[in-house]
DNA sequence: TTACCTTTAAACATCA
DNA sequence: CTGATGTTTAAAGGTA
């Protein structure tokens, strides 16, 4: 299954989080990073690229082979090792985490320890209702004592989606859950109440009008409200053990996973176990098929972003004239436009409403599948985040292309609003925003800094602007939210 | 701290 | 009448 995107957060992180290491630790880190990643992802483009990226000397500026990066580390990494959940890439600290360089090839140890833990559970008594440990891939058939990491909404959604008719009576929803999540066979009976409670209160589910000729006995058939189906898909996508979660273990190691004990770091696996948690066609024949249909290929986004960043960096660092006398960076207009386009596509306001197949990407959890979710799809536009403003390049030609998704909340013509609430049809007018030359210069500077950051993260020395260093760590780690402030 | 979300429990009504 | 189903309310815990 080909999925996942390099989302706005990732992009913003790459653009803004300039890694800062000392020269000594930089070379050391690079070497260890290459070694560890080569083991974790043998033969991957990432490994090859990292191998190629080892500079011959510290003072020799490393030349990046565009095709290596653009062809692309991210893309192949995802294809080989499974797609990556959006949020997982937001933290690139794992690249700098020295723990990453340790404890390779300990997967079997964890499997064993997990097995021992489970045995211990049985010895010590059942631990039902325990949440599944975050660092262990969840297998519903295996971890029968662990409470599934899915909300009841997701369970119901999966059950209904996994049915041929996409509608089920409560009884069959029970059966599906019991069949796919044996945990509930021994769980307290209250879960059925919870299922009914969810069906009743959650707006994502609705009863099918009873067909007179079709008697199913007591009760009604339940189905997914088409308006909210994308939200449920998105919620499912965000669950911790969704197939796109695999690199989470690498990207955001749980504290317990890498916690140091007195005798040193406990060896725990870093090698991703991919495919463990996939929506298995075997377990979920209809669901897996439908989810697959809901995905889209956005590899080109990532490749374009990487390629454009490299090109921009190459331009700015390799061509001294790229920086004009007044301090403004002048990347080629073409590249700038491409980057802008990608940037816009990856900004929250774009993503907030960007529909990937059937998946609507929301940043607000309440828009996923909550009881109170309102008119998410019926309101295709909403006030954009200030990130858009921050990264609005003010190009009018491009504005038209993206005005549907990105806009500034301050720029709304609020004539339709009476008391701050959206008008009934949620239609609002957009007034294009124009940046001042100063803003544009600042944004261009950020692009170059971002390219620097990306290359630095890959262990490539650059001559570009860098962030201040404080104790070996970046003095300022920008996040999309901090940028928005 | 607050607001919101999710889960759980419970009471009650309706229906087959 | 019984049990399944559906609705509603409330409380507790988690999270942003």
Question: What is the tens place of the pLDDT at every residue in A337-382?
Answer: 444 444 444 333 333 333 343 444 444 544 555 564 434 333 333 3
Tokens representing A55? 């500079």
**What is the SS3 assignment for A206?**
strand
Give yes or no for CB of A129 within 7 Å of strand B. yes
Question: Could you give the residue ranges of the DSSP H alpha helices within A279-411?
Answer: 285-294, 299-318, 333-346, 348-353, 366-369, 386-390, 396-402
Residue A241 placed within a domain: yes
CA at A375, C1' at C6: how many angstroms apart? 24
Give yes or no for CB of A267 within 7 Å of strand C. no
Sorted by sequence, the CB contacts under 8 Å of residue A339 that are 6+ apart come out as A305, A308, A309, A312, A331, A447
pLDDT of residue A299 exceeding 50:
no
pLDDT band at A193 (very low <50, low <70, confident <90, very high): very high
Pairwise pLDDT comparison (A128 vs A36), residue with the higher score: A128
Q: Domain of A230: which CATH number?
A: 1.10.10.10
Residue A229 placed within a domain: yes
CA at A294, C1' at C8: how many angstroms apart? 35
CA A405 to chain centre: 19
> How would you label A177-186 residue by residue, b for 16+ Cβ within 10 Å and e otherwise?
bebbbbbbee
Handedness of CA A313, A314, A319, A322 (dihedral sign): negative
Residue A419 placed within a domain: no
pLDDT band at A175 (very low <50, low <70, confident <90, very high): very high
Tokens representing A414? 């609020």
CA A134, CA A427: separation in Å to the nearest integer?
A: 42
Residue A181 placed within a domain: yes
Which of these, A176, A188, A193, lies nearest to A126 by C-alpha position? A188
Residue A14: left (phi > 0), alpha (psi -120 to 50), or beta? alpha
CA A218 to chain centre: 42
Q: Which nucleotides of C are covered by protein (CB under 7 A)?
A: 3-10, 16
Total number of domains constituting chain A: 1
For A128-183, the DSSP string reads TTEEPPTTS---TTT-TTEEPSS-HHHHHHHHHHTSTTSEEEHHHHHHHHHHH-TH
Q: Find which nucleotide's C1' atom is closest to A219's CA.
A: C5
Residue A214 placed within a domain: yes
Residue A483 placed within a domain: no
pLDDT of residue A461 exceeding 80:
no
Q: Find which nucleotide's C1' atom is closest to A364's CA.
A: C16
Question: What is the tens place of the pLDDT at every residue in A423-452?
Answer: 333 323 223 334 555 655 665 555 455 445
Q: Across-strand partners of A16?
A: none
CA A308, CA A336: separation in Å to the nearest integer?
A: 8
Residue A334 placed within a domain: no
- Could you tell me the residue range of the domain that residue A207 belongs to? 152-248
Query: Which stretches does DSSP call E strand in A235-284?
Result: 260-261, 264-265
CA at A65, C1' at B6: how many angstroms apart? 49
Q: At what angle do helices A437-457 and A333-346 cross, to 10 degrees?
A: 80
Phi, psi for residue A396 in degrees, rounded to 5: -70, -35
Give the per-residue pLDDT at A217: 72
In percent, how much of chain A has pLDDT > 90?
A: 7
Residue A42 placed within a domain: no
Q: Residue A220: which H helix or E strand, with range?
A: none
Residue nearest to nucleotide B14 (CA to C1'): A219
Give yes or no for CB of A191 within 7 Å of strand B. yes
Residue that is written with structure tokens 């317990």 in the block:
A256
pLDDT of residue A454 exceeding 50:
no
pLDDT of residue A417 exceeding 70:
no
CA A307, CA A335: separation in Å to the nearest integer?
A: 9
Q: Which nucleotides of B are covered by protein (CB under 7 A)?
A: 4-11, 15-16
Angle at A348 between CA A483 and CA A243, to 5 degrees: 115
């Amino acid at each position: 299954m080909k999925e996942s995107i390099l989302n706005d957060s990732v992009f913003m992180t790459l653009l803004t989080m300039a890694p800062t290491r000392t020269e000594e630790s930089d070379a050391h880190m690079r070497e260890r990073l290459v070694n560890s990643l080569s083991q974790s992802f043998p033969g991957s483009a990432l490994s090859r690229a990292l191998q190629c990226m080892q500079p011959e000397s510290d003072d020799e500026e490393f030349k990046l082979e565009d095709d290596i990066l653009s062809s692309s580390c991210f893309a192949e990494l995802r294809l080989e090792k499974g797609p990556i959940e959006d949020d997982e890439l937001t933290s690139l600290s794992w690249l700098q985490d020295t723990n990453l360089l340790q404890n390779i090839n300990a997967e079997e140890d964890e499997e064993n320890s997990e097995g021992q833990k489970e045995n211990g559970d049985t010895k010590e008594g059942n631990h039902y209702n325990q949440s599944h440990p975050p660092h262990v891939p969840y297998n519903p058939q295996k971890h029968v004592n662990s409470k599934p990491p899915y909300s009841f909404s997701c369970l119901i959604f999966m059950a209904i989606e996994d049915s041929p008719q996409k509608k089920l009576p409560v009884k069959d929803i029970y059966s599906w859950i019991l069949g796919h999540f044996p945990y509930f066979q021994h769980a307290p009976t209250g879960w059925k109440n919870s299922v009914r409670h969810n069906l009743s209160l959650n707006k994502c589910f609705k009863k099918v009008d009873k067909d007179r000729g079709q008697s199913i006995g007591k009760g009604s058939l339940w189905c997914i409200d088409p308006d909210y189906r994308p939200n449920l898909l998105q919620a499912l996508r965000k669950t911790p053990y969704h197939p796109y979660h695999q690199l989470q273990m690498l990207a955001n190691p749980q504290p317990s996973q890498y916690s140091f004990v007195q005798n040193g770091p406990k060896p725990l696996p870093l090698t991703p176990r991919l495919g463990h948690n996939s929506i298995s066609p075997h377990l979920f024949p209809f669901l897996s098929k439908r989810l697959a249909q809901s995905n889209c290929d956005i590899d080109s986004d990532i490749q374009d972003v990487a390629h454009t960043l490299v090109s921009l960096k190459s331009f700015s660092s390799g061509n001294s004239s790229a920086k004009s006398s007044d301090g403004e960076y002048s990347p080629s207009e073409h590249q700038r436009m491409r980057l802008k386009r990608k940037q816009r596509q990856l900004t929250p306001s774009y993503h907030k409403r960007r529909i990937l197949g059937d998946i609507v990407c929301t940043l607000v959890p309440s828009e996923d599948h909550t009881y109170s979710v309102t008119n998410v799809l019926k309101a295709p536009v909403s006030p954009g985040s200030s990130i858009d403003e921050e990264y609005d390049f003010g190009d009018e030609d491009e504005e038209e292309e993206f005005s549907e998704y990105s806009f500034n909340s301050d720029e709304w013509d609020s004539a339709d609003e009476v008391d701050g609430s959206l008008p009934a049809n949620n239609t609002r007018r957009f007034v294009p925003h124009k940046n001042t030359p100063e803003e544009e210069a600042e944004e261009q500077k950020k692009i170059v800094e971002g390219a620097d950051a990306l290359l630095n993260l890959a262990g490539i020395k650059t001559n570009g602007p860098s962030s201040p260093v404080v104790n070996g760590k970046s003095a300022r780690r920008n996040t999309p939210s901090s940028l928005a402030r």
